[in-house]
Amino acid sequence: SQTIHQWPATLVQPVGSPLSLECTVEGTSNPNLYWYRQAAGRGLQLLFYSIGIDQISSEVPQNLSASRPQDRQFILSSKKLLLSDSGFYLCAWTWGTGVPGYTFGSGTRLTVV
Amino acid sequence: GIQVEQSPPDLILQEGANSTLRCNFSDSVNNLQWFHQNPWGQLINLFYIPSGTKQNGRLSATTVATERYSLLYISSSQTTDSGVYFCAVPSGNTGKLIFGQGTTLQVKP
């Protein structure tokens, strides 16, 4: 069976510090991978998606970047965090559009202080 | 882009009551998904329902694609049903989803 792992669960970082959130999927190959952010407990905003290694698309211009160093690994990064980067970050995977099985990781709650 | 609207935004129920959550979308879609986010933030996929009706225990969902809406029914609600319910539709052909703003459900014992 497929599983998705996301870490860390919580993170408190000072303004201006770097960020690295990691997401790994097990039990499948060539998944579509996504990073979403949720602010104030409502509404998920898509940040990045990847349909393959070296194929990463950004949805919203911002202070973040994403990389996919391996087929089943998706990393969200920032060189210098802003207060506005605080939020709940969720990684997700699926086999593609038009098929069921959209699965989310457990999320990372980031607080920038 | 496609717009997704959910109603009501908030709902408070007594345990054992039934409820209906609605999701309207502004354009034709080839699938729709319902998710439940528990109080700890975990998002669980409830239904993948492009059209028609599906049932899973006390929950069922109906999508009428031609009229651009979907309904989620919760019967005999329990306190564990509390949380936020989201509907989401695809945008493009890469699997990315557009989410509604959610319905926050609180079930009181």
Fold of the domain spanning B4-108? Immunoglobulin-like (2.60.40)
Set of chain A residues whose Cβ sits within 8 Å of the Cβ of B86: 44
Fold of the domain spanning A3-112? Immunoglobulin-like (2.60.40)
Residues of B near A (CB-CB distance < 8 A)?
A: 30-31, 33, 35, 41-45, 48, 84, 86, 88, 90, 92-102, 104
Q: Is A32's CB within 8 Å of B31's CB?
A: no
Q: In angstroms, how far is the first alpha carbon of chain A from the final one?
A: 39
Across A20-38, average pLDDT: 94
Q: Is B48's CB within 8 Å of A101's CB?
A: yes
Q: Is A43's CB within 8 Å of B31's CB?
A: no
Whether A76 and A69 have beta carbons less than 8 Å apart is answered as no
The pLDDT mean for chain B works out to 94
* Separation CA B30–CA A97 (nearest Å): 9
Higher pLDDT, A53 or B72: B72
What was the pLDDT predicted at B70?
Answer: 98
User: In chain A, pLDDT over 70 holds for what percent of residues?
Assistant: 96
Per-residue pLDDT of A33-88, as tens digits, reads: 999 999 876 789 999 999 988 899 988 867 899 999 999 999 999 999 999 999 99
Q: Which of A48, A58, A94 to mutate to test the interface with B (most CBs of B within 10 A)?
A: A94
Q: Is A43's CB within 8 Å of B33's CB?
A: no
Per-residue pLDDT of B24-66, as tens digits, reads: 999 988 889 999 999 889 999 999 999 999 999 999 999 999 9
* Separation CA B77–CA B82 (nearest Å): 9
Q: Which of B37, B42, B87, B98 to mutate to test the interface with A (most CBs of A within 10 A)?
A: B37
A67 SS3 class? strand
Please, is A13 exposed, middle or buried when counting C-beta atoms within 10 Å of its C-beta (0-12, 13-18, 19+)?
middle
What was the pLDDT predicted at A61?
Answer: 66
Strand partners, B12: B106
Whether A113 and A13 have beta carbons less than 8 Å apart is answered as yes
The pLDDT mean for chain A works out to 91
Query: Dihedral, CA atoms, A80, A84, A88, A94, nearest 10 degrees?
Result: -70
Domain map (residue ranges) of chain B: 4-108
Residue A83 per-residue DSSP state: G
Q: Is A97's CB within 8 Å of B99's CB?
A: no
> What is the token pair recorded at B90?
């695809």
